[in-house]
Structure 1
Amino acid sequence: MAAEEIIGYDELDDTVVHLKLAIPASELHGSLCGFLAGGGRVGKQSLVEVLHLDNEVKPTGRDQALLERLVTQSEAELADPELGFEPLLPADDRPLPERAEALGDWCRGFLGGFGLAGAETHRKLSDEAQEILRDLGTIAASAFDFGDEGEDEDALIELHEFVRMGAMLLFAECAKRPAAQNDTLH
C-alpha cells in the first residue's frame, strides 16, 4: 500500500458526521468490507452511491478522497497474506458497551454489503462460509449484557477476532474465486 497514513475509526467517524450519513462509521466500514468480500467492486462510483447510503451532503474534496483511500485500504487489508485486516471500531480505551455496539453495527453493515455484492455468489458458498455469515448475523442481532468486566472484555476480544478472521475468509472465498479456480497446487 502507498505511504499514505492508515485511516482510523475517529477519522472515518468525522467524515460520516460531516456527510450526515444515516449509519455509524463502524457500520460504513462493515458495509464496504462485506461488499468487497462478496466480490463487489467500487470502481469509479462514489462509495456512498455503491452502498446505497442515505446522505445529506455529497462527498467532495477531502471526504471523497478519504472514502477512496478507505476502499483501497480495505481491499489491501482483506487480501493481506499476513492477515493484517482489522474492522474499524472505537479504540480499546472506549467504554466496553460502545465497542460491543460498534462490533454489532460492523457485522450488520458487513451482511448488508455482502448482500449488495450479488446473490449468485452466495449459493456457492462453502459450509464454513455459510456458518460464518449466520454467526455474523447472530452478532449483529445481539443485545449485549454486561456483568464481569474482565470476562466481558475477553468475550469481546474473542468476538472481534472471529469477525476479523471471518471477514478475511469470506473475502478469500468469494472475492478471489476466479483466481483460485485457475491456481495450481504445488
Structure 2
Amino acid sequence: MSLINERQDFSTIADLFLLHGSMQSPAFLDGRLCAGLALNDLPPDAWLEQVCLTLGVEQPRDEPSAERFLAWRRQTLEALSAAELGYEPLLPDDLFSLAERAQALKEWTLGFLEVVEDAGDAPRQGWSSALREALEDLAGLAGMETDLEESPENEGDLFALTEHVRMAAMLLYTEQHPGKPQVESAEAPTRH
C-alpha cells in the first residue's frame, strides 16, 4: 500500500512531527487544516508551507514525508466533502489517556477557531444560526479543563464534545461549499 492511499492517523502524523524534531501534537494543525479547507480551499503548496512553519523547518525532510503531509490534507478534504459525512478530527485514540485526548481536542479547537477568526467577518455573512451557535460552543470548549480523571462519565462527555466539534467542522465546510457534499439525493434537472 502506498503512502498516498494509507490512512493518516494521529500517531502516524505525530511520529512524522517527531521525525522533523517537533514534540507538538498534530491536533492544533489539524484544526487549522480543517478550517483552512472549509474557508479558503487551502491549496497543497500552502498547506505544506504551513506544516513546515509549524515544525520550524524549511521543507519536509524527504519526499515520503511531503507525501504523507499532502495525504493528510487530501484525506481531510475527501472526508469533509464526502456524502457520508464521515469526517473525523485527527485526534489521539483510546490508547491515550483521557486527559491527553481532552488536551488534543482543546488544541484542535484552538487551531480551528484561529483560522475562523483570521477569516474576518466576510464569510460570516451567510452563515446559518446553527453554524454560528456551533462556533460559539467551540469557543467555550477552547477553554475547557483537560485534566480529566478516567471515568465512564468523563469518557462519554469527551465523546460528546468530539462529536460536537466534528459536526461544527462539517457544518462550516458544507455551508462554505453548497452542494458539496450532496447530502440529499439530487433530482434530475428538468428539461424544458
How would you bin the TM-score normalised by the shorter chain? 0.7 to 0.9
- Which residue is 1:164 aligned to? 166
Counterparts of 1:172 and 1:178, CA distance in 2: 7
Partner residue of 1:47? Answer: 47
Q: 1:44/1:94 Cα in 2 relative to 1: closer, same or farther (>3 Å)?
A: closer
TM-score for both structures, normalised by structure 2: 0.81
Q: CA deviation at 1:100?
A: 0.5
Matched, 1:113 2:115: yes
Number of residues of Structure 1 aligned to a counterpart in Structure 2: 180
Q: Point out where structure 2 has 5 or more consecutive residues left out of the alignment.
A: 188-192
- How do 1:84-123 residues align onto structure 2 when only pairs under 5 Å count? 84-117=86-119, 119-123=121-125
1:9-24 equivalences under 5 Å are: 9-20=10-21, 23-24=24-25
Query: Structure 1 residues 88 and 145 mapped into 2: Cα distance closer, same or farther (>3 Å)?
Result: same
Shift in CA distance, 21/113, structure 1 to aligned 2, threshold 3 Å: farther
1:155 paired residue number: 157
In structure 2, do the counterparts of structure 1 residues 151 and 162 end up closer, same or farther at CA, with 3 Å as the change threshold?
Answer: same
Gaps in structure 1 of 5+ consecutive residues: none
Retained in 2: the 8 A contact 1:27–1:109? yes
- Structure 1 CA distance, aligned partners of 2:153 and 2:36? 32
User: Shift of residue 54 of structure 1?
Assistant: 3.4
For the structure 1 residues 147 and 67, does the alpha-carbon distance in structure 2 shift closer, same or farther, using more than 3 Å as the test? closer
1:67 to 60, 66, 69: 69
What secondary structure sits across from 2:126 in the alignment? coil
Find the residue that maps to 1:54 and give its secondary structure.
Answer: helix
Alpha-carbon separation, structure 1, partners of 2:97 and 2:120: 36
How far residue 50 of structure 1 moved from its aligned partner, in angstroms, is 4.5
How big is each residue's C-alpha offset from its partner over 1:112-132, in whole Å with a ceiling of 9 and x where there is no partner?
Answer: 233445642123211111111
Contact 2:30 2:108 in 1 (8 A): yes
| Alignment CA distance shift 1:146-1:171 (3 Å) | same
Question: What is the Cα deviation at residue 9 of structure 1?
Answer: 0.6
1:43-74 Cα distance to aligned partner (Å, 9 max, x none):
25241424784333221412211111111110
RMSD over aligned CA atoms reads 2.7
Length-normalised TM-score, structure 1:
0.83
Please list the CA deviations of residues 89-139 of structure 1 after superposition, one character each: whole Å capped at 9, or x if unmatched: 111121100001101111111112334456421232111111111111111
What is the alpha-carbon distance in structure 1 between the residues aligned to residue 150 and residue 95 of structure 2? Answer: 17
Stretch deviating more after TM superposition (105-114 or 136-145): 136-145
> CA 1:70–1:119 in structure 2 vs 1: closer, same or farther (change >3 Å)?
farther
Cα gap change, 1:128 to 1:29, in 2 (>3 Å): same
Contact 2:98 2:149 in 1 (8 A): no
**Of the two, which has the highest radius of gyration?**
2
Matches of 2:76 and 2:28 in 1, distance apart? 14
Question: CA–CA distance in 1 between the matches of 2:26 and 2:158?
Answer: 19
Tell which deviates more after alignment, 45-54 or 128-137: 45-54
